[in-house]
Chains A and B, each alone.
Chain A
Amino acid sequence: EIVLTQSPGTLSLSPGERATLSCRASQSVPSSYLAWYQQKPGQAPRLLIYGASSRASGIPDRFGGRGSGTDFTLTISRLEPEDFAVYYCQQYGISMGTFGQGTKVEIK
């Protein structure tokens, strides 16, 4: 089973600042398997990024993804008030899916 480790666990930032979230896989993952989600309290996760770097429909361009192999990154260029939430990376392969444990982006 591929384990995804996200860091940091919590990121304390102010609106307007840049957020950089990391997702490291225990073994190499095809970029096409890697996606990012945003989850707010009481809501289902929302797809942000698929294929490691493609934004889902309706996602603002302040959200960006990059990476390959075992290291992937989600960047939020300038935090808006609605961006404070928990973010999960996911790898979804031929027969199995796993998620990272999440990074909480909180208001400083």
Chain B
Amino acid sequence: QVQLQQWGPGLLKPSETLSLTCAAYDGSFSGYFWSWIRQPPGKGLEWIGEITHSGGTNYNPSLKSRVTISVDTSKNQFSLKLSFVTAADTAVYYCARGRKGFYGNWFDPWGQGTLVTVSS
């Protein structure tokens, strides 16, 4: 069963670039939509964007100008970059495997989450 493990810096200053990476272990990498989702402290979930193994991307329009998601199929990894961060970007960031198909569209599994704090 696939497991996702994510990593990246937990503290950033305003205007810096957030950079996180997620690795998928013990499962197929193709045929899925590798996604990033975030959750500000005490708040709900926000979908950031997704990438396929071939590099096709979709982004949340509210973040599109600052987001880049990339993929490294040789390592079964995908990465998130969010530029010009502010305090409003402070959140737990999750990676997740998205599935879209006949039976439905959903996110499962999820990574363990990384708390990213933006503070001067």
* Chain A residues close to B by CB (< 8 Å): 1, 31-35, 37, 44-47, 50-52, 54, 56, 88, 90, 92-102
Residue A56 contacts which of B37, B61, B105, B108 (CB distance < 8 angstroms)? B108
- Nearest CB on B from A103, distance (A): 10
Measured in the bound complex, the distance between the Cα atoms of B35 and A90 in whole Å is 14
Which of chain B's residues have a CB closer than 8 A to the CB of A47?
106-108
- Nearest CB on B from A85, distance (A): 14
Which of chain B's residues have a CB closer than 8 A to the CB of A50?
103-106
Q: Which residue of chain B has the shortest Cβ distance to A100 in the bound complex?
A: B44
Residue B44 contacts which of A31, A52, A88 (CB distance < 8 angstroms)? A88
Instruction: Tell me whether A35 and B104 are in contact (CB under 8 A).
Output: yes
Q: Which residue of chain B has the shortest Cβ distance to A98 in the bound complex?
A: B47
Which of chain A's residues have a CB closer than 8 A to the CB of B47?
92, 96-99
Contact-residue bracket for chain B: 20 to 34
Instruction: Tell me whether B105 and A92 are in contact (CB under 8 A).
Output: yes
Residue A95 contacts which of B37, B58, B102, B113 (CB distance < 8 angstroms)? B58
Which of chain A's residues have a CB closer than 8 A to the CB of B107?
35, 37, 45, 47, 90, 92, 97
Instruction: Tell me whether A97 and B35 are in contact (CB under 8 A).
Output: yes
Q: Which residue of chain B has the shortest Cβ distance to A102 in the bound complex?
A: B44
Which of chain B's residues have a CB closer than 8 A to the CB of A32?
102-105
| With contact pairs A44-B113, A100-B44, A101-B44 given, residues A33 and B105 touching in the complex (Cβ less than 8 Å) | yes
Instruction: Tell me whether A96 and B111 are in contact (CB under 8 A).
Output: no
Measured in the bound complex, the distance between the Cα atoms of B60 and A93 in whole Å is 12
Instruction: Tell me whether B106 and A96 are in contact (CB under 8 A).
Output: no
